[in-house]
Structure 1
Amino acid sequence: MDTDPGSPVTLRHVQRAEPRQVAGPDAQVDNKALVIAPGDFRRTDPFLLMAEDWFSSTGFDWHPHRGIETVTVVLGGVLEHGDSLGNAGTLGAGGAQWMTAGRGVIHRELAYRDEYAHTLQLWLNLPSGQKLAQTRYQDLQQGDYGVYTEPGVRVEVVSGSTGGARGPAANLWPVTGLFVTLDPDTTYSQLLASHDRAFAYIVSGTATVAGRQLWEGETAWSDPVVDPGSEDDSVSELVFTTPPGNERTTLMLFSGRPIREPVAAGGPFVMNNESELRQAYVDFEEGRFGPVPRLARVRNR
């Protein structure tokens, strides 16, 4: 985020660090890991889960969502996507899709030509008043991102803003989304809203986050430093340091204000109570999300 240079800044801390949970192959993927495990939603609010997947075939064929936004980041290979709005295409490494499921969408995510895709998918919660919002899809190529640099630091801004650079993603619940690349022996301070909860996932390399050493595949959590329900609009900083050596560090940093509402999650749907969750299944089964698309596979990029 951006701020007045004269504003006071609070130093953030890391409350916990967690390794990803590797689950191995299944019927859809060659390998899978849970980066943010679902279930303890009060500790991760407004984030619900994040999975890291490596797949060639089968991938994730047609399936529905309601009540959330998903952010799918391509780390390697090429991702093919399609949805019930008629969107279809491919995303290469560095690209991201930001999808508002809202009232309901049916989509698929496959490896282009069944070759290879390595992705991260983050589920973002939506407040009750926006769970049935209009469905929307945003295809974000790496060249679309805002970019902020300083010596030894490159920040690609997908959502929100930092250092005067603004990301292209539109979202219903304000979220800062950054990909940060750090040279060895570098210190970088990222400003964040004090009422936000933030996580930093080490995609590659190693870094010290607010004094906590993290390695590839680990996530640091920094909880709000003020009451998320207050009108406090102060800023805070999260400090990253990399060790000397030859390896750059890449990390994914997201932050957002906790929504602080009940969460009822079941399969691909996330609502506020069990009645709404049951209704989501009824609406899907009775065709209110629209028919399952009959889009052909993408053959040429």
Structure 2
Amino acid sequence: MTAPSSSDGKTTDPSRRHPVNRSHRPVRNLNSTGRRNNMMHTVQQRTIDRVDDRLHLGPDQQVDDKALLFTPKSPQLTDPFLVLVDDLFSSPGFEWHPHRGLETVTVVLDGVLEHGDNIGHVGTLSTGDVQWMTAGRGVIHRELAFRNERAHILQLWVNLPAEQKMVDNRYQDLLAAQRPVIEADGTRIDLISGRAGGHTGPAQNHWPITGATLTLEPNRTLRHTLPAHDRAFFTVLSGTVTIAGRTLTTGQTGWSDPLPGGGPETSTIALRTGDTDQRAVVLAFSGQPMRQPVVFGGPFVMNTQAEIVQAHRDFRSGRFGAVPRQARLQYR
């Protein structure tokens, strides 16, 4: 995805797939905390410190509709996360464009996403699939709706620490059928990254990140566990849920800052649904703040303005590689 837009509409300066049998998904029934009762006395309780509302931007030259679930305007408040964008598109989508110095986590909410890049990766992702892309030293890629039909995605930008800004590029297709799921008493944790309930998500991290989709049926409680030193966000994708006593509805994002003096030990936050006829679905991610300077330059995220200038220079001079001349998948 190219650079997201801010509320004023301006650009913000911030392997091939194989068929998968989606019916063999690992499921394990555990209590909602995923921890034994004799460990509860060590657990710190989290709060929600602030709430962001969905910012609707509407259509533009690339997408049929766009919204920001949280914006890149105050990276010190979202560190290590940069922006979360909701995009719905058919054509043209996001044609060839570069990235450097960040990771993108793309969640397909609906439809089929076609992806390709200049180092040979090409394929499609379907509803529920996640792609974790590391754009370290520089990559050129595109994200399109397969056959120009429909793709509805969320894309989270995750920062890379200064010492890993120029790491090798990497793609991880984290298919819905292959991720661990933890179910208990009307709650469900679909684990993408990090640990929960004795399971480890499939994503490999340069900076430790915990990520999952949480689902609660009506009148249910889920105590979600996270490292105490992490900053966490909880974006409500559908329904209404009370998180640490704060009620959030569809499109709102609640933030839980690191606990004072918190380390890698466990903390917990309670999510509850009321007596309604709709389940709640929440995207929950957390990571320890990097506390480093953040400089945006369109699709590049570095630590200094000089590094942004160099990134643009390297892209224009071909150091990212050539822009591919790759046929669309429907024509192959």
The AA in structure 2 aligned to 1:68 is L
Structure 1 match to 2:298: 267
Structure 2 match to 1:143: 177
1:239 to 270, 276, 279: 270
Structure 2: how far apart are the matches of 1:298 and 1:211? Answer: 48
- Asked whether the 8 Å contact 2:35–2:198 carries over to 1, the reply is no
1:158 to 192, 199, 203: 192
- Asked whether the 8 Å contact 2:53–2:70 carries over to 1, the reply is no
Structure 1: how far apart are the matches of 2:97 and 2:325? Answer: 13
- Asked whether the 8 Å contact 2:107–2:128 carries over to 1, the reply is yes
The AA in structure 2 aligned to 1:185 is N
1:208 to 242, 258, 263: 242
Q: Deviations over 1:232-283 (max 9, x none)?
A: 3322111100111221111100000000000111100000001111000000
- Asked whether the 8 Å contact 1:148–1:164 carries over to 2, the reply is no
Shift of 1:2: 6.8
Considering fraction of residues, name the structure with more strand. Answer: 1
Structure 2: how far apart are the matches of 1:54 and 1:106? Answer: 21
Q: Deviations over 1:158-206 (max 9, x none)?
A: 1011001211111100000101111000011001111000000001111
Shift of 1:18: 1.2
Q: Deviations over 1:35-56 (max 9, x none)?
A: 1101201000000001001101
- Asked whether the 8 Å contact 1:3–1:235 carries over to 2, the reply is no
Instruction: Give TM-score scaled by structure 2 length.
Output: 0.87
Aligned residues: 298
After TM superposition, the structure 1 = structure 2 runs for residues 1-301 of structure 1, keeping only pairs within 5 Å, are: 5-6=38-39, 8-227=42-261, 232-299=263-330
Query: Identity, % of aligned pairs?
Result: 52
Q: Which runs of 5+ in 2 are unaligned?
A: 1-32
The AA in structure 1 aligned to 2:123 is G
User: How much is the aligned-residue C-alpha RMSD, in angstroms?
Assistant: 1.5
Instruction: Give TM-score scaled by structure 1 length.
Output: 0.96
Structure 1 match to 2:17: none
Shift of 1:293: 1.1
Structure 1: how far apart are the matches of 2:331 and 2:42? Answer: 52
Structure 2: how far apart are the matches of 1:30 and 1:184? Answer: 33
Runs of 4+ in structure 1 off by over 6 angstroms are 1-4
Structure 2: how far apart are the matches of 1:59 and 1:126? Answer: 26
Structure 2: how far apart are the matches of 1:13 and 1:122? Answer: 22
Q: Does the residue aligned with 1:280 lie in a helix, a strand or coil?
A: helix
Shift of 1:3: 6.3
The AA in structure 2 aligned to 1:87 is H
- Asked whether the 8 Å contact 1:2–1:161 carries over to 2, the reply is no
